[in-house]
């Protein structure tokens, strides 16, 4: 193992980099509003309030205003069900981070995402060792995963992605390590960990479906092979699956364990929410339209794939390797020819669809950004057209698994109309993080195979092209990623500090996104409401006057229209008394970080006269 010190050194450097990222996070500030909502639940659980819904305050008028439409959050982030408010996200992550919050405060929330990332690297390094990669190959694979992919930035986010990836990766490593047969213990452990990932992130149901299909096929092939003698027709060799046949050994145990683990999660959802699929899934089922779902899935599929390669550009080499294999083999074998023709048809349909939906502007931007890279890649394909390209069974397995999983994710994820992209605010494609370790290994193996057999000129051009992909990945994820990470966390601390020091208890936001980032560190001292319509301002004003409160702070979310302060000095009639009215006077308090804030003063008609 001493010979593999390079990979451990790279992991050590990654640990330092992840700690540096965490050091850029101000206390009480989250990468996205999702984290703020999960933190609210974790804080509540850490205080011994063992309820999965967000507990309402005991103040009756606050409860009534929330029920009348002034609750700071709305669907699809929080759902009101059975007189309770549930965040849309699976509860296990908040439940698991709650003890760390109780021990270490705000920083305790980052323990699991950070340590999970380190354990992903360590597990991946061990997996590379069992795959018998050379020390240099192993070091390169680890380097690609740690520094040339978008995974590491998620170590500094209060998000459950790294934990889900860790669980799934451990299960898949146990499943995929090459060997003659699988023990019952290994099948159970593998299925358990893969199933456990779906407790944390719902898109891993797509991986469960993918592995069910692939392992199911291998189980059938293995069973059929057991009934055949050496002289008879061998289905495994005919299908070129003999090297993967071990995946079918105890495959049914693996599949049953996966589904049993997920089944327990569904049962817990039923007990908590009254529905096996949980809150968000319940909403999707109720509003389900197959045409809408397929249309969104097609658009999501395209965007997910493009984003994956954009933020992990070294994977483009693996894509080119596959394309070269299909081109060279399509003249010799039937299956590669069919796949290649299908790929051409898919590319043409996608291009026509993209032009019709996005116009030529997007095409021009793509050509301007990646035109040179496309030309260099085309030159590589031309120069390498006579090379002997090989794709072994494990590579084919990774390609097929990735395609099926991505398709499943596209079908599962629900892209909201308010989201800027599939997955919303993120760095790279967060739904496909589990594919990064497997692509990293496949890339270094393909690079080695190609360099061993290629001619002198092509060999050095390949190194040149791969180096460009690598440099782009490093620039994208280390430099631009760190810059994006830092900018994302700016402008919130000032708002939190101002509100924390202000004596007024009532805080009103123009959009739920503002509350998601501000309420968590202020939840014990402030009451949050959302007012984005004049009629809700009337409800708020007359309720506050009834309860002897004449002032509040109004917070404008910077990336949406904020028109309520424009209603200053307008006279509103009280809903319960046509002869009584009041005014709301808005005085600007200036910008506090990235939020424009106003002081709201309520003046009854008697005071005005």
Distance, in Å, from the CA atom of 257 to the CA atom of 22, rounded to the nearest integer, reads 36
Both 528 and 478 in one domain: the answer is: no
Of 120-129, 159-168, 413-422, the range with the lowest mean pLDDT is 413-422
Mean pLDDT of 559-581: 74
Distance CA 129, CA 151 (A): 21
Decide if pLDDT at 417 tops 60: no
**Region of residue 491 (phi > 0: left; psi between -120 and 50: alpha; otherwise: beta):** left
User: Does residue 261 form part of some domain?
Assistant: yes
Q: Tell whether 479 is covered by a domain.
A: yes
Confidence of residue 571 (pLDDT cuts 50, 70, 90): confident
Which segment of 242-246, 317-321, 458-462, 579-583 scores lowest on mean pLDDT?
A: 579-583
Please check whether residue 572 lies inside any domain of the structure: yes
Q: What is the pLDDT of residues 48-66, one digit of tens each?
A: 999 999 998 989 999 999 9
Q: What percent of the chain has pLDDT over 90?
A: 63
User: 389: pLDDT confidence band, cut at 50, 70 and 90?
Assistant: confident
Q: Do 300 and 258 sit in the same domain of this protein?
A: no
What's the total number of domains in the chain?
3
Average pLDDT, rounded, for the chain: 88
**Is residue 24 assigned to a domain?**
no
Average pLDDT score over residue span 214-223: 89
CA 76 from chain center: how many Å? 16
The verdict on 293 and 378 lying in the same domain is yes
Domain-ending residue, one of 249, 264, 286: 286
Asked if residues 405 and 114 have their Cβ atoms less than 8 Å apart, the reply is: no
* Interatomic CA distance for residues 463 and 470, integer angstroms: 10
CB 582 within 8 A of CB 541: yes
- Same-domain status, 317 and 436: yes
Q: Which helix (H) or strand (E) holds 198?
A: helix 184-200
Residue 259: inside a domain: yes
DSSP track, 268-332: HHHHHHSSTTHHHHHHHHHT--HHHHHHHHHHHHHHHHHHHHHHSTTHHHHHHHHHHHHHHHTTT
Encoded tokens for 302: 């395209």
Strand order in the sheet with 506-509: 527-530, 506-509, 551-556, 595-604, 577-592, 571-574
State the pTM of this model. 0.92
Whole-angstrom distance, CA of residue 479 vs CA of residue 485: 10
Q: Is the same domain home to 483 and 516?
A: no
Strand 551-556 with 506-509, pairing: parallel
**pLDDT beyond 80 at 150:** yes
With beta carbons less than 8 A apart as the criterion, state whether 434 and 169 touch: yes
Q: How far apart are CA 475 and CA 462, in angstroms?
A: 20
| Mean pLDDT of all residues in 197-224 | 92
DSSP H helices, 475-506, are 481-488, 493-501
- Nearest residue to 193 via CA among 204, 178, 184, 180: 204
Taking residues 376-389, what's their average pLDDT? 88
- pLDDT value at residue 231: 45
**How far, in whole angstroms, is CA 595 from its chain's centroid?**
26
Residue 144 lies in a domain: no
State the Cα–Cα distance between residues 36 and 26, nearest whole angstrom. Answer: 13
CA distance 276 to 282: 8
Tell me the two tokens of residue 408: 């499943």
What is the Cα–Cα distance from 128 to 142, expressed in whole angstroms?
9
Structure tokens at 141: 């694979």
Residue 195: its pLDDT value, please? 97
**Domain-terminating residue out of 223, 253, 286:** 286
Domain span including residue 502:
492-604
Shared domain check, 368 and 304: yes
**One domain, residues 263 and 350:** no
Looking at the fold, whether 555 and 600 belong to one and the same domain comes out as yes
Choice between 244 and 88, residue whose per-residue pLDDT is larger: 88
Residue 435 lies in a domain: yes
220 versus 329: the higher-pLDDT residue is 220
Q: List, for residues 16-46, the tens digit of each pLDDT value.
A: 999 999 999 999 999 999 999 999 999 999 9
The whole-angstrom separation of Cα 472 and Cα 470 is: 5
Considering the domain boundaries, does residue 419 fall inside one?
yes
End position of a domain, from candidates 458, 489, 520: 489
Do both 515 and 371 map to the same domain? no
Which tens digit of pLDDT belongs to each residue from 260-313?
999 999 999 999 888 888 886 665 655 566 777 777 888 888 889 989 999 999
Confidence of residue 243 (pLDDT cuts 50, 70, 90): confident
Residues 550 and 440 in one domain: no
Residue 415 has pLDDT above 70, yes or no: no
Residue with the bigger pLDDT between 78 and 340: it is 78
The whole-angstrom separation of Cα 42 and Cα 589 is 32
Count Cα neighbours of 186 within 13 Å in the Cβ-side half-sphere: 18
Q: Are residues 238 and 324 in the same domain?
A: no
Total Cβ atoms within 10 A of residue 231: 6
Q: Is the same domain home to 503 and 452?
A: no
Q: Coil, helix or strand for 87? A: strand
Average pLDDT over residues 243-247: 83
Higher-confidence position of 388 and 488: 488
């Amino acid at each position: 193992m001493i010979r593999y010190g390079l990979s451990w050194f790279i992991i050590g450097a990654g640990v330092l980099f992840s700690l540096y990222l965490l050091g850029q996070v101000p206390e009480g500030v989250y990468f996205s509003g999702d984290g703020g909502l999960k933190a609210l639940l974790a804080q509540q659980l850490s205080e011994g309030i063992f309820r999965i819904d967000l507990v309402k305050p005991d103040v009756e008028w606050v409860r009534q205003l929330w029920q009348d439409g002034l609750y700071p959050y709305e669907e699809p982030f929080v759902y009101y069900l059975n007189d309770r408010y549930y965040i849309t996200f699976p509860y296990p992550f908040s439940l698991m981070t709650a003890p760390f919050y109780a021990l270490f405060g705000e920083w305790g929330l980052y323990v699991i995402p950070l340590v999970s990332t380190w354990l992903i690297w360590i597990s991946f390094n061990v997996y590379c060792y069992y795959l018998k990669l050379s020390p240099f190959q192993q070091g390169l694979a680890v380097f690609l995963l740690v520094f040339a992919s978008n995974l590491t930035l998620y170590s500094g986010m209060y998000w459950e992605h790294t934990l889900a990836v860790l669980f799934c990766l451990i299960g898949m490593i146990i499943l995929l390590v090459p060997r003659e047969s699988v023990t019952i213990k290994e099948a159970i452990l593998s299925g358990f960990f893969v199933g456990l990932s779906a407790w944390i992130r719902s898109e891993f149901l797509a991986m469960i479906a993918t592995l069910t299909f692939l392992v199911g096929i291998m189980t059938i092939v293995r069973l059929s092979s057991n009934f055949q003698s050496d002289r008879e027709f061998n289905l495994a060799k005919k299908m070129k699956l003999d090297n993967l046949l071990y995946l079918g050994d105890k495959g049914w145990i693996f599949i049953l364990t996966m589904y049993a683990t997920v089944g327990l999660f569904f049962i817990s959802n039923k007990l908590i929410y009254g529905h096996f699929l949980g809150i968000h899934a319940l909403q999707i089922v109720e509003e389900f339209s197959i045409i809408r779902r397929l249309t969104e899935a097609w658009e999501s599929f395209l965007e997910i794939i493009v984003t994956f390669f954009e933020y992990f550009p070294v994977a483009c080499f693996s894509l080119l390797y596959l394309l070269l294999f299909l081109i060279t083999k399509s003249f010799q074998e039937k299956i590669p020819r069919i796949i290649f023709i299908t790929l051409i048809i898919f590319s043409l349909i996608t291009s026509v669809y993209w032009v019709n939906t996005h116009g030529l502007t997007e095409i021009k931007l793509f050509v301007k950004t990646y035109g040179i890279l496309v030309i260099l890649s085309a030159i590589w394909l031309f120069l390498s057209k006579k090379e002997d390209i090989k794709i072994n069974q494990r590579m084919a397995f990774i390609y097929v698994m990735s395609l099926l999983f991505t398709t499943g994710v596209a079908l599962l994820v629900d892209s909201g109309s308010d989201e800027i992209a599939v997955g919303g605010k993120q760095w790279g494609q967060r739904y496909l993080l589990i594919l990064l370790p497997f692509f990293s290994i496949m890339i270094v193996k393909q690079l080695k195979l190609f360099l061993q057999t290629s001619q002198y000129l092509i060999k050095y051009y390949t190194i040149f092209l791969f180096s460009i992909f690598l440099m782009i990945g490093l620039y994208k994820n280390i430099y631009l990623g760190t810059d994006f990470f830092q900018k994302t966390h700016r402008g919130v601390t000032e708002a939190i500090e101002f509100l924390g020091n202000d004596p007024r208890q009532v805080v009103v936001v123009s959009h739920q996104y503002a509350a998601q980032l501000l309420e968590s560190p202020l939840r014990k001292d402030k009451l949050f409401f959302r007012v984005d319509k004049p009629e809700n301002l009337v409800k708020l004003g007359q309720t506050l006057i009834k309860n002897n409160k004449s002032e509040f702070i109004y917070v404008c979310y910077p990336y949406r229209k904020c028109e309520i302060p424009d209603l200053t000095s307008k006279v509103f009639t009280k809903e319960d008394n046509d002869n009584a009215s009041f005014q709301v006077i808005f005085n600007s308090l200036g910008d506090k970080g990235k939020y424009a804030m106003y002081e709201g003063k309520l003046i009854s008609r008697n005071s005005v006269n």
